[in-house]
Amino acid sequence: MNMMHMGAPMNGGPPPPQMLQMHHPLPHHVAVFAHGSSSQNSQAPPLQAASATPPVPSSMNRSQSRASCPQSTREMSSHRSTTSRRCGVCRGCQCKPCGQCTYCQDSPQFGGPGVKKQSCIERRCLRVLENRLQRDAPTFKARVGCNACEDCRMQDCQICLVCLDKRFFENRHIPGAMCAKKRCNNAQSIECVPSLMSQNPADFVQRAPKRSYELINPVISQQQQQQQSQMHFDVKRVQYMTGPPPQMMQQMQMQAPPQQQIPQPQTPQQQVQQHQQRPNSNSSHSQGPSPPRNGVSQQQQQQTPPQQQNGVAHQIKTDVNVENLEQHQQQQQQQQQQLQQQQQRMIFQPAPYPDLSVHARLMVQAPPQVITAPAPIPLPQGQMTHMPQHGLDIPYLIPTSFVQAVQGQADPFYPSKFELDFEHNGDPFVPPSYAQDMKGQVVLQQL
DNA sequence: CTCTCCGGTCAT
DNA sequence: ATGACCGGAGAG
Ligand SMILES: [Zn+2]
Ligand SMILES: [Zn+2]
């Protein structure tokens, strides 16, 4: 029951607030939307459109409170230091509400009842995610699978805490853990010893904003990417700026991220109008969510006319999701080539871990397909497009490498949608769609 | 006041 | 462990 559908500030009409004013210098590889701050990056992606269309109205990131001030000031100053706020710069913060995820559906913004009161899955902020990981990881019951059973062979869910940690934080918070969704009988629980960070919450707070996502993603040539088209492997290499704990030396993570979906060129406003009437627009959560506490069901909310989603069919992008590195591309490519075969194989042959009893060891002794980082690389930025670097230069805005994005996708969290939207409606900030068929493909679980 | 949405809590 | 709720913080 809604009928409220008040014109959300974002859709309404308030002139697009010019992007978040970054107080810190933006790395050249980071495109800026705002006023002609056209970063003169060499790869000069077609950002005109972007600048014309701010990612999200400032009103959208209300709770973010001055995203421009990366200083921990506001975040911490808040008496309720326990409440993490939006960073305002990560992909999530930049994204518009998809309008189709369960939370958007719930939001009054889209005519929902507003009972769930959660942010759009697409808009999940990485900072918040991290805070949560830091909080929960210590008590998280991590397990390592046998890597032999069927479950272990399945691809990671990509939405559980472990997967998210893996994807965004290179398992720093829950090292060695296997996808929480996997139900391996031979799984062994491991003590989660969050590396890298002290157990002192006070520390997090301070570090959170500064948390650099100094992680490096290997670069995979487009060709390679295409060759791996059957599966997505977001191979990442860990690289720590600060002294990494022994167990976290370096690791290579292979993930089989869900297939990318093609963005659905439409703005929230449009979405509101269309207000899908999808049969299974349960979207986002792949795992059967528990039943709603009360009668408010998703369906009930969908009382809007069965508008069509428009002609844009949801396609599935099969390119490998890999984010490109700027400089180490070459060497990486070489490396990748060598590993290419291996990787393809891993797709169906989850590497048998040498020893799973100790996660520490697990981390050190990377599985066969593990690619060890060539050498400490100076955090290239721009590849972790979805990683906010609170307080630091954040290559999370619009990576200059739009071009790359268009060709080979990087991460489900960095929807290829951007490029497409450019072409379709010039709005690169429209979040990926949540077609039921893509259910659980590109999401972040509830935070 | 309006609005977004974090985080705690409870049900599953 | 995870999702549904919902109180309420905090920004506009
Ligand atoms: Zn959404
Ligand atoms: Zn954010």
What's the pLDDT tens digit per position in A393-417?
333 333 333 333 333 333 444 443 3
Q: Could you tell me where the DSSP H helices lie in A137-193?
A: 150-153, 161-169
Which of A409, A309, A321, A415 shows the shortest CA–CA distance to A96? A415
The conformation of residue A292, written as its DSSP 8-state character, comes to P
Please write the tens of the pLDDT for every residue from A127-159.
Answer: 899 888 888 888 888 888 888 888 888 888 888
Cβ atoms of A417 and A431 closer than 8 Å: yes
Report the C-alpha gap between A60 and A97 in whole angstroms. Answer: 9
Separation of A59 CA and B4 C1' (Å):
8
Residue whose structure tokens are 């080979």: A408
pLDDT higher than threshold 50 for residue A361: no
In contact, A193 and A175? CB cutoff 8 Å: yes
CB-facing half-sphere around the CA of A407: CA atoms within 13 A: 14
Looking at per-residue pLDDT, the higher value among A289 and A127 belongs to: A127
Q: Residue A414 in contact with residue A405, Cβ under 8 Å?
A: yes
CA distance A236 to A300: 42
Which residues, other chains included, contact A198 with Cβ-Cβ below 8 Å and sequence gap of 6+? Answer: none
Residue A309 CA to residue A278 CA, distance in Å, equals 9
pLDDT at A51: 39
Percent of chain A with pLDDT over 90: 2
Q: How far apart are CA A274 and CA A298, in angstroms?
A: 16
Q: If residue A363 lies in a helix (H) or strand (E), which one and from where to where? A: helix A359-364
**Among all ligands shown, which has an atom nearest to the Cα of A127?**
2
CA A85 to C1' B7 (Å) is: 11
Is-contact A362 A56, C-beta < 8 A? no
Cα of A14 vs centre of ligand 2, distance in Å, is 22
How far does the CA of A323 sit from the C1' of C3, in Å? 31
* Three-state secondary structure call for residue A55: coil
CA-derived radius of gyration, chain A: 21
**Is the confidence metric ipTM above 0.85 for this complex?**
yes
Query: If pLDDT is split at 50, 70 and 90, which confidence band does A370 have?
Result: very low
Beta strands in A153-259 (DSSP E): 188-190, 236-237, 252-253
Q: Which of A338, A356, A369, A322 is nearest to A222 (CA)?
A: A322
Q: Tokens in use for A22? A: 């970054």
In whole angstroms, C2 C1' to A180 CA is 10
Distance A305 CA to ligand 1 centre (A): 19
- In this prediction, residues A278-294 reach a mean pLDDT of 39
Q: How confident is the model at residue A96 (pLDDT cuts 50, 70, 90)?
A: confident
Cβ-based neighbour number of residue A310 at 10 Å = 11
Residue A119 has pLDDT above 60, yes or no: yes
A404 CB closer than 7 A to any strand C atom: no
- Mean pLDDT within A293-305: 40
Q: Identify the top-confidence range among A51-60, A201-210, A225-234, A352-361.
A: A51-60
Task: Give yes or no for a contact between A267 and A96, defined as CB atoms under 8 angstroms apart.
Answer: yes
- Region A340-350: what's the mean pLDDT? 36
Asked whether the beta carbons of A404 and A397 are under 8 A apart, the reply is no
pLDDT band of A54, cuts 50, 70, 90: low
Q: What is the mean pLDDT of residues A14-29?
A: 32
- Of the listed ligands, the closest to the CA of A88 is 2
Question: Would you say residue A292 has pLDDT above 50?
Answer: yes
Q: What pLDDT does A408 receive?
A: 36
Q: For position A117, what pLDDT does the model report?
A: 93
Q: Report the pLDDT averaged over residues A352-378.
A: 31
Q: What is the mean pLDDT of chain A?
A: 49
Q: Who contacts A55 (Cβ-Cβ below 8 Å, separation ≥6)?
A: A19, A33, A93, A94, A95, A96, A428, A429
pLDDT at A407: 33
Contact A127, A168 (CB under 8 A): no
More confident residue, A389 or A115: A115
Which band of pLDDT confidence, cut at 50, 70 and 90, is reported for residue A118?
Answer: very high
Q: How many CB atoms lie within 10 A of CB A208?
A: 21
Residues 251-310 of A near strand C (Cβ < 7 Å)? 285, 287, 289-294, 296
Q: Is the pLDDT of residue A171 over 80?
A: yes
Ligand 1 centroid to A114 CA: how many Å?
A: 13
Q: Note the pLDDT of residue A163.
A: 87
The stretches of A240-328 forming alpha helices (DSSP H) are 268-274, 298-301
CA of A90 to the centre of ligand 2 (A): 4
User: Strands A260-261 and A30-31: what pairing?
Assistant: unpaired
- A6-20, A95-109, A326-340: which has the minimum mean pLDDT? A6-20
Find the mean pLDDT for residues A115-123: 91
A69 CA – C9 C1', rounded, Å:
19
- Strand B proximal to A178 Cβ, under 7 A: no
Residue A216 is classified by DSSP as B
Q: How far apart are CA A19 and CA A105, in angstroms?
A: 25
Q: What dihedral do alpha carbons A270, A271, A277, A281 form, nearest 10°?
A: 160
Q: Where are the domains of chain A?
A: 84-124, 129-195
Per the structure, the residue whose CA is closest to nucleotide B7 at C1' is A83
Distance from C-alpha of A37 to C-alpha of A78, rounded to nearest angstrom: 32
* Cα A3 to Cα A317: distance, rounded to the nearest angstrom: 36
Query: Which stretches of A294-399 are assigned E, i.e. beta strand?
Result: 316-317, 398-399
* A376-to-A28, A237, A249, A409, A436 alpha-carbon distances in Å: 22, 10, 11, 25, 42
A100-127 mean pLDDT: 90
Please tell me the predicted confidence (pLDDT) of residue A195.
53
Percent of chain A residues past pLDDT 70, beyond the cut = 25
Strand C contact nucleotides, protein CB < 7 Å? 1-12
- Which whole number is the average pLDDT over A232-245? 29
Strand B contacted by A295 CB (< 7 A): no
Stretch A438-445: mean pLDDT: 39
Chain B nucleotides covered by protein, CB below 7 Å? 2-8, 11-12
A139 touches strand C (CB under 7 A): yes
Task: Report the pLDDT value the prediction gives residue A153, as an integer from 0 to 100.
Answer: 85
Nucleotide nearest to A290 (CA to C1'): C3
Nucleotide nearest to A8 (CA to C1'): B3
> In which band, very low, low, confident or very high, does the pLDDT at A116 lie, cut at 50, 70 and 90?
very high
Q: Which residue did the predictor score with more confidence, A413 or A29?
A: A413
